[in-house]
Amino acid sequence: MSGCHDAVTATVGVILTSYQTIMNTGDVRPENPGNSDLYKKITDNDPEDWMPPPPRQALSPAQTETLRKWIAQGARNNKCYSGCDTTQFTFNTTILPIINDNC
């Protein structure tokens, strides 16, 4: 947001407007959330240091966990396509047809 980590303000050089800028400036270490500034800043115990800075609302535990999991999973630029129901994801119905058709 303006005044914070948008491309214009870029507070302390951190720009959080796209995957590229987050990976280039947010100090994200794939598979290592504990050493990633992006995660350390949102889980900091000191209100002087944590992000977003007060009086802004801190991220919820669910949001923080989502960020931790994304970094732990490799901080990939992936996305879920509509209709991607992972609960219905099985070898026989999903993988075998791909192998049969292409291998």
For ligand HEM, the binding residue among 10, 17, 29, 52 (CB under 6 A) is 52
For ligand HEM, the binding residue among 17, 23, 29, 42 (CB under 6 A) is 42
Long-range contacts of 2-5 (CB under 8 A, 24+ apart): 4/52
For ligand HEM, the binding residue among 6, 23, 30, 59 (CB under 6 A) is 59
Q: How far apart are CA 23 and CA 26, in angstroms?
A: 6
Binding span for ligand HEM by CB under 6 A among 9-17, 70-78, 80-88, 89-97: 9-17
Binding span for ligand HEM by CB under 6 A among 47-55, 68-76, 85-93, 95-103: 47-55
Binding residues (CB under 6 A) for ligand HEM: these are 1, 3-5, 11-12, 14, 26-27, 37-38, 41-42, 49, 51-53, 56, 59
